[in-house]
Structure 1
Amino acid sequence: MTAQPSATADAPPPSLHAFAVHDSNAPLTRVSLAAIEPRFNLYLRFGEPTRTVRLDRWRRVAMFLPRAIFCRIRWQANDYGTIRWQLMVMQACTPRDAVQRIPGVQPGAYLLLHAEGEQKVRAVLERIDGIEALGIAAIDVSPAYWHTLGNRLAAGLVLPDYTAERHAAWLVGKKLS
């Protein structure tokens, strides 16, 4: 028995464009993720990607269906400590939606919340932990809540809690529309 060299062993990894279309022909939103310890970490805090492609040891790409909500955190450090904290809650869009261009998010997404700086990011993370403590998945939270939270954060006002009553009202309104 002779062994034949495999054509797939030398083949380059498949193009991300090949993964960008789901079975229903709905284009997926591609989100770049990376981790280079101890300098840089770009990761998902919540979200349910339809698939994740590992590019190499440090980089991955998560792909989301239209209307999926997800949270990406960016953390950077240098020799003197942390230099950047960033948290973004985004919603994947359809091709006909107006999207915001966000680095590392292709073709773009609808930005629901943007927090910069350690104090603001920690405040949002506390709210996310509180939501999950109620038994509510953060991906199921009303987009209006993320907008409100981001606006209050930017204005320096008291941040609202997400309650079970607010979530129930969101679910009823979602059913009716």
Structure 2
Amino acid sequence: MNASALAATTAPPPSLAVFAGHAGIAPLTRVSLARIEQRIDVYLRFGEPARIIRLDRWRRIAVFLPGAMFCRIRWHANDYGTIRWRLMVMQSCTPLDAAQRIPGVLPGARLLLHAEGEPAVRAVLSQLDAIEAQSIAPADVSPTYWRTLGNRLAARLPLPAYTAERHAAWLAGKVLP
């Protein structure tokens, strides 16, 4: 069999087949949000969705472009008080990126930080407040910082501060090829 016949019979790799016939269409990440007064609150702490779709009075869907970073907080309560606190910092992906399946996030996202329980969530929220106090948008923070913060939480070590110098180094590194 000659080379031209072999090239004509081989199929493109499965990773490229995703884009066949869909040139210019970016895959979007859909994040479910909900609010039922005094019971459930699933909301975005930061992140700039490309679009928000309102399903009904209680439910919305935030749509993110690939590469966008966002933070979703999930809070549940019952008649006796708060029963669940969960905070996740995620980055939306393309079909070629490694992503994790996360409930309420379709088709999935890269999980950078996961905090469960009131003390851990409050610790991360205080770090977010400190970042915003420096006039830095949390969605622009280095993904490595969020991973480091999550690892420090899991190991019960002191949480590192995100400084303006660290942010300047991250921005300078993004410019390099």
Q: 2: distance between equivalents of 1:83 and 1:149?
A: 24
Deviations 1:123-144 (A, max 9, x none): 0000001001000000000000
1:132 aligns with 2:132: yes
Residue 168 of structure 2 corresponds to which residue in structure 1? Answer: 168
Deviations 1:17-63 (A, max 9, x none): xxxxxx94001100000000110000000000000000000000000
1:116 aligns with 2:139: no
Residue 47 of structure 2 corresponds to which residue in structure 1? Answer: 47
Q: 1: distance between equivalents of 2:93 and 2:160?
A: 26
User: What is the deviation of 1:98?
Assistant: 1.4
SS of the residue 1:160 aligns to: coil
Structure 2 residues without counterparts, runs of 5 or longer: 1-22
Q: 2: distance between equivalents of 1:94 and 1:151?
A: 25
SS of the residue 2:83 aligns to: strand
What are the within-5 Å matches in structure 2 for residues 15-164 of structure 1? 24-164=24-164
SS of the residue 1:97 aligns to: coil
The letter of the residue matching 1:172 is A
SS of the residue 2:86 aligns to: strand
The letter of the residue matching 1:101 is R
Q: 2: distance between equivalents of 1:97 and 1:123?
A: 30
Aligned residues: 156
SS of the residue 1:25 aligns to: coil
The letter of the residue matching 1:137 is A
> CA 1:24 to 1:48, structure 2 compared with 1: closer, same or farther past 3 Å?
farther
Deviations 1:50-86 (A, max 9, x none): 0000000000000000000000000000111100000
Q: Once superposed, what is the RMSD of the aligned Cα atoms?
A: 1.3
The letter of the residue matching 1:162 is Y
Q: 1: distance between equivalents of 2:99 and 2:107?
A: 8
Q: Structure 1 length normalisation: TM-score?
A: 0.86
User: What is the deviation of 1:161?
Assistant: 0.4
Q: 2: distance between equivalents of 1:135 and 1:25?
A: 33
Structure 1 residues without counterparts, runs of 5 or longer: 1-22
Q: 2: distance between equivalents of 1:65 and 1:108?
A: 12
Q: 2: distance between equivalents of 1:140 and 1:113?
A: 15
Q: Structure 2 length normalisation: TM-score?
A: 0.86
Residue 18 of structure 2 corresponds to which residue in structure 1? Answer: none
Q: Which 4+ runs in 1 deviate beyond 2 A?
A: none
